[in-house]
Chain A
Amino acid sequence: MGEVLTDEVEPGGLAPPGALTRLGDDDLSALLLIRHFELKLLELFDRGELSGTTHTCLGQEYVPVALSPLLDPADYVFSNHRGHGHYLARHRDPHGLLAEIMGREGAICAGVGGSQHLHRDRYLSTGVQGESMPVAAGVALHLKRVEPGALACVYIGDGTFGEGAVYEALNLAVLWRLPLLVVVENNGIAQSTSTERQMAGTIRGRAEAFGAGHHSFTSVDVNELRTGLAPVVDLVRRRQRPQIVEFHTHRVGPHSKGDDTRPAHVLRGVKANDWYDLYAAAHPEHFAPSDAAQRELIALIAHEVAARPLSRWEPPCA
């Protein structure tokens, strides 16, 4: 035992800030759609127009955008509490998502799930840390037997590694050679607790302990990341080797809303790595019109969705 199903591909490299390559129009608009969607949510909260809570993915938008074209409609995607970007990158459905969050007609899940509990086709998110890892392993078990070539992709965070469910699932996935792709968005902070205060060792070390492949990405360049990710996804898909891809990313916004207690110098460091500013600086002529267009689009969508009737739901029998 102990075969390590790992590095047969080169990890993505480092992109020094300012050196972002020019994106395709579609990738740029996807990134900006997510950015303005999230900013709009915070604005709506501030105005008292949203209820409950939300967790925006500001700063991390590029992760699902880089990954999305590498996934097939037959693949399952599992997301978490910070999942708007994951959903929008897969389904490009800001109307349905905002209606879900606002409890309006046309909501993806009738307003029952809200921000953290979405299900559409083969996309599913849920709000308990680590819970979706064994579920994704179960889906991967089905896919391996019935739909070979399809995979299950799970988004988790660095904080999720505190949960035992992660390790039970990793063990099973490697043991049974399941087509499981674990995407770790390591943003260095779990709600308010920095990673060094909540994790002993490393994610790579944990992956290796199970014989799962591990690939680390520090770039925020979608093109570069996609090139690095493609062979990893292929390894999962074609050879049923569970892989962990770890993105060293940056949570530009608060955990939820107005609850960011990080000191100013930390926030400055985070901001310096925000793809949004870096791309605006590198490709202003490409960035500006798309940025304006997405901002306007989201403003219109917010206006339209807010005016819709409330969503309706018939609870299952008493």
Chain B
Amino acid sequence: MRVADNLNAALHDLLEHEGDVYLLGEDVADPYGGAFKITRGLSSKFPGRVLTTPISEGGIAGVAAGLALTGDKAIVEIMFGDFVALAFDQILNFASKSVAMYGRPLPLRMVVRCPSGGGRGYGPTHSQSPHKHFLGIPGLSLYEVTPFHDNRAVLREMFARQEPCILFEDKILYTRQMYDAGDLFTWDMDGDVARVYLDDPTSADCVIIAPGGLAHRALAAMRTLLLEREITCLLLVPSRLYPLDLDPVLPHAERAKAVVVCEDGPGGAGWGSEVAHLLHTRLWGRLTRPVAIVHARNSVIPAAPHLEKEVLVQESTICRAVLEVLGG
């Protein structure tokens, strides 16, 4: 099953079983079913609760927060993750603050879905990974779709947190298969974190930590490193990026010769730095070398494919980083 189909099925399942779930977004209604077809079939089946909206990201996020305020659960689809900037006030100043600023917990169950990332030639305003702008906001959790986490469970978990959540969905992941780590590797789950490895997760030379959208590029790099350099890597893919549960990561990071964190946005002041800082703090004196961060170039994202490739993280970028930290 493709990741897009898993996500679509998860939304169908949620709307069917929970009568207080709403979904709002631009062009989400049938027959169009959303720019990436993730909402296909939903408006036909749940007409009162799946609403196609005007082009008003801030307004839609506010409506979702209002629904959540009444006890409903609301899902917003932002057509391109870049546009979530237009909803920033509602997310930062209203929803995230309201869970705490009235002196007692106010449950707000809302999920803002953001198709993010490049690799499709959409250019600077339709390709970015805006994660860093939402990191570190009290009352806001960040998730990313992965090929290993069933989105039914992910959506339920986000609502169970009773606070606003953003779900980043890397566009190039939509057409990939769920639960497929390739022919060389096996995978399993440790808590929230998917682990992909050759045969023994505890014997890898290098630990790679990556969000779902980078999983396939990391897997390709692992394959190359294994076949060409006999280097073994363990890939860790968390579903929840922030706040990150470090427990499944620590023992591996401590044991390995090197740790590489990957992110597809420009480097610095972002998820990579956050994870590296957490690991440095928790494992100070026990790490063999500083945690390395692989990130996109500090640049806008060009439209032309050959230029876009220069900016965004590729399989080769990850390979190079691993070789570098291992002294190869």
Neighbour of A139 across the interface among B59, B69, B101, CB < 8 A: B69
In the complex with contacts A126-B94, A168-B54, A172-B54, A137-B103 CB distance below 8 A: no
Taking the complex as formed, is A171 at the interface, i.e. its CB lies under 8 A from any CB of chain B? yes
Taking the complex as formed, is A169 at the interface, i.e. its CB lies under 8 A from any CB of chain B? yes
Q: Once bound together, how far apart are the Cα atoms of A262 and B239, in whole Å?
A: 56
Contact (Cβ within 8 A) B58 A136: no
Contact (Cβ within 8 A) B66 A134: yes
Contact (Cβ within 8 A) B105 A112: no
Contact (Cβ within 8 A) A131 B63: no
- Collect the chain B residues with CB atoms within 8 Å of residue A109's CB: 101-104
Taking the complex as formed, is A300 at the interface, i.e. its CB lies under 8 A from any CB of chain B? no
In the complex with contacts A138-B62, A168-B56, A172-B53, A113-B67 CB distance below 8 A: no
Taking the complex as formed, is A141 at the interface, i.e. its CB lies under 8 A from any CB of chain B? yes
Taking the closest CB of chain B, its distance from the CB of A193, in whole angstroms, is 21
Q: Once bound together, how far apart are the Cα atoms of A117 and B94, in whole Å?
A: 10
Contact (Cβ within 8 A) A172 B103: no
Interface residues on B, range: 35 or more
Contact (Cβ within 8 A) A134 B90: yes
Contact (Cβ within 8 A) A137 B59: yes
Taking the complex as formed, is B166 at the interface, i.e. its CB lies under 8 A from any CB of chain A? no
- Collect the chain B residues with CB atoms within 8 Å of residue A168's CB: 54, 56, 58-59, 62
Neighbour of A112 across the interface among B51, B54, B58, B100, CB < 8 A: B100
- Collect the chain B residues with CB atoms within 8 Å of residue A31's CB: none
Q: Which of B54, B58, B104 has the most CB of A within 10 A?
A: B58
Measured CB to CB, the nearest residue on chain B to A172 is: B59
Taking the complex as formed, is A162 at the interface, i.e. its CB lies under 8 A from any CB of chain B? no
- Collect the chain A residues with CB atoms within 8 Å of residue B61's CB: 134
Neighbour of B72 across the interface among A111, A113, A142, A171, CB < 8 A: A142
In the complex with contacts A138-B74, A139-B70, A169-B102 CB distance below 8 A: no
Measured CB to CB, the nearest residue on chain A to B95 is: A135
Q: Give per-residue flags for A136-151: 1 if the beta carbon is below 8 A from chain B beta carbons, else 0.
A: 1111111101100000
Taking the complex as formed, is A292 at the interface, i.e. its CB lies under 8 A from any CB of chain B? no
Contact (Cβ within 8 A) A135 B53: no
In the complex with contacts A110-B104, A145-B48, A134-B67 CB distance below 8 A: no
Q: Which of A124, A135, A145, A152 has the most CB of B within 10 A?
A: A135
Binding site for A on B (CB under 8 A): 22, 48, 51, 53-54, 56, 58-70, 72, 74, 89-90, 93-94, 98-106, 138-139
